[in-house]
Amino acid sequence: MAVALDRIRVGSAPDSWGVWFPDDPQQVPWQRFLDEVAEAGYSWIELGPYGYLPTDPARLRDEVKKRDLKVSAGTIFCGLHRGPSAWDATWEQVGRVAALTRDMGAKHLVVIPSFWRDDKTAEILEAPELTTEQWGHLTKGMERLGREVKDAYGLDIVVHPHADTHIDTEEHVERFLDSTDSGLVNLCLDTGHYAYCGGDSVKLIETYGERIGYLHLKQVDPEILADVVENGVPFGPAVQRGVMCEPPAGVPDLGPVLTAAQELGVDLFAIVEQDMYPCEPDKPLPIAVRTRRFLRSCGA
């Protein structure tokens, strides 16, 4: 019998419906996403790319409420490793997203580091390894972001290790956590991205449990991943190959991850994100229904 995961609040996100951009003809309309995520049995959602869902708080509140949905987080990308010159552009983006996130009653802002490689063209934009000076900019910048987002919007930032960014592997994630203040910065552990980059989610939860502030649930196909790693395939094309697969077909095994998270003894969101871009409009809903059923079988 599965352990009752009563501290885990499960949701899904536009990402699981093939949504990566605010506006794209290959993506399903936002109304369809909201209808289908509710139909699949989820009660929590993320905002996704700013501008995909309505940005007027009153309208968005009405749209989610009538479907019995609630918002868990907003998301931003930032390149704070570039130093103080990156702050103003970051804060401008934060202002829009954090205000809407707060107005929807959510408490978290997911922060994804900027990509060092273009996820569409594979163009190398920056060196994959940061210098010591850039690590300093990144960690101090994230601490400043955590402090100012909390002060201005009442939100906690959770930094999301991500493929093709500078916070990806176990070594980089641990360095980041060891170099930042837990009172200002914690982690959004994405089980798929961490596995994609060779990390062990259960080990991370057991070692750095007090730093785990939020979860993204996804899995990778080991065979596709092996080819991706061997041939240096960028993240975007890897997704098109199906590297992020439907649970429970891939790794990591989500049961032990959820059990380890439950044992932390704190309330955590666990938001399903199966990267699918682009995808056929009829593909996401059946997967979402099956994934929700699978997570219930795990006790969530």
Joined tokens for residue 75: 């998301």
Task: Look up residue 89 and give its amino acid.
Answer: A
Given a contact cutoff of 8 angstroms between Cβ atoms, the answer to whether 204 and 194 are in contact is yes
Task: Look at residue 121 in the predicted model and tell me its pLDDT.
Answer: 80
Query: Per-residue pLDDT for the chain (300 aa), expressed as one digit of tens each?
Result: 467 899 999 999 999 999 999 999 999 999 999 999 999 999 999 999 999 999 999 999 999 999 999 999 999 999 999 999 999 999 999 999 999 999 999 999 999 999 999 877 888 999 999 999 999 999 999 999 999 999 999 999 999 999 999 999 999 999 999 999 999 999 999 999 999 999 999 999 999 999 999 999 999 999 999 999 999 999 999 999 999 999 999 999 999 999 999 999 999 999 999 999 999 999 999 999 999 999 999 998
**Looking at domain 8-298, what is its CATH homologous superfamily?**
Divalent-metal-dependent TIM barrel enzymes (3.20.20.150)
As a whole number of angstroms, the distance between CA 37 and CA 52 comes to 15
What tokens were used for 105? 């009653």
Q: What is the pLDDT of residue 2?
A: 61
Q: Provide the residue ranges of all domains of the chain, joining segments of one domain with +.
A: 8-298
Of 6, 11, 51, which is closest to residue 216 (Cα–Cα)? 11
On whether the pTM is more than 0.95, the answer is yes
User: What's the confidence (pLDDT) of residue 119?
Assistant: 76
